[in-house]
Amino acid sequence: MPLSLAQLRRNYTLYGLRDDGVPADPMELFDQWLNQARKTEVPPAEANSMALATVDRDGHAHCRMLLLKGFNAQGLFFFGHYLSAKGQELASNPHAAMTFFWPGLERQVRVEGPVVKVDEQLSDDYFDVRPAASQLGTWASPQSQALSHRSELDTRLREVTEHFAGRQPPRPEHWGGYCLQPRRIEFWQGRPNRLHDRLDYRLHDATWQRTRLAP
Ligand SMILES: Cc1cc2nc3c(=O)[nH]c(=O)nc-3n(C[C@H](O)[C@H](O)[C@H](O)COP(=O)(O)O)c2cc1C
C-alpha cells in the first residue's frame, strides 16, 4: 500500500488570517508570528528552525533545516560553513527559499529572495558569543565533507582543542553568516476543511504588495 499515511490528517481550526488589520510590512507580521511560536512550540527553543532550500549549478534543489539567528529590515540571518554544500550552492546561485512551520499555531511562513554574506564583524560577533564547545566544533568539522569514520571527527576535535588550549578560538574564515533579503513572504494559516488562508507579500519597487492566494 503506497499511501499508508493517507488517513493521517488534521483539521486546522485555531486561527484565521484576515485581510484587514494585517501589517503592510510583512516583517512585522513575521515578528508577531515568531513571537507567538516561541511561546507555543514544543520545544520553544526551536521555534526559529526552518528549512532552507538552495539550487546547485546543475539546477538540482537541496533542502535542510537551519536555525534563524535574527532578522531586521535587511533580511533574515543564519550561519554556517561557507565551504559546505549550501555555501557552494549559494555561491553559484544566491536565490534561496526558507520555510518555517509552526504546527502548534497551524502556521507556515515561506520567504524567498537572494542571499548575501553578512559583514565579517557580524559573523565575528556571533561566533564570539557561541559556547566554547560549539566554537571548537566549528573548527573541527569540515561541514558536508566525507569522513572516514566518526573517530576522525573526535581526532580533529582533540587536535583543535589542544591547538587553542587556554585561548578563545577566533572565527574560522570559512564560517559565517548569511542574510536572505526577502522579495516574497507568504503567510499560511491553516483553516477547516483545507480552505486555508494565504497572504502573499511581494516586493515591487521597494513597496510590499499583498495578494490573497487560493489554498
Ligand atoms: C533543527 C536543526 C537546526 C540546524 N541548524 C543549523 C544551522 O544553523 N547551521 C548549519 O550550518 N547547520 C544547521 N543544521 C544542520 C543542517 O541541517 C545541515 O545538516 C548542515 O548545514 C549541512 O548542510 P549542507 O551539506 O546542505 O551544507 C541544523 C539541523 C537541524 C535539524
Nearest-angstrom CA–CA distance, 80 and 78: 7
The closest alpha carbon to 185, from 13, 1, 31, belongs to 31
Going by alpha carbons, the residue nearest to atom 29 of ligand 1 is 65
DSSP state letter for 202: E
| C-alpha torsion sign, points 125, 137, 94, 45 | negative
Burial 76-98 (b: 16+ CB within 10 A, else e): bbbbbbbbbbbbbbbeeebebbb
Residue 62 in contact with residue 85, Cβ under 8 Å? Answer: yes
Residue 215 in contact with residue 200, Cβ under 8 Å? Answer: no
Spell out the CATH class of 26-130+173-212: mainly beta
- Sequential pLDDT tens for the chain (215 residues): 799 999 999 999 999 999 998 999 999 999 999 999 999 988 877 999 999 999 999 999 999 999 999 999 999 999 999 999 999 999 999 999 999 999 999 999 999 999 999 999 999 999 999 999 999 999 999 999 999 999 999 999 999 999 999 999 999 999 999 999 999 999 999 999 999 999 999 999 999 999 999 99
Per-domain residue ranges of the chain: 26-130+173-212
Is 126 labeled as ligand-binding?
A: yes
| Residue of 63, 66, 115 to test ligand 1 pocket, by largest number of atoms within 8 Å of CB | 66
Active-site choice (194, 202, 210, 212)? 194
Nearest-angstrom CA–CA distance, 78 and 76: 7
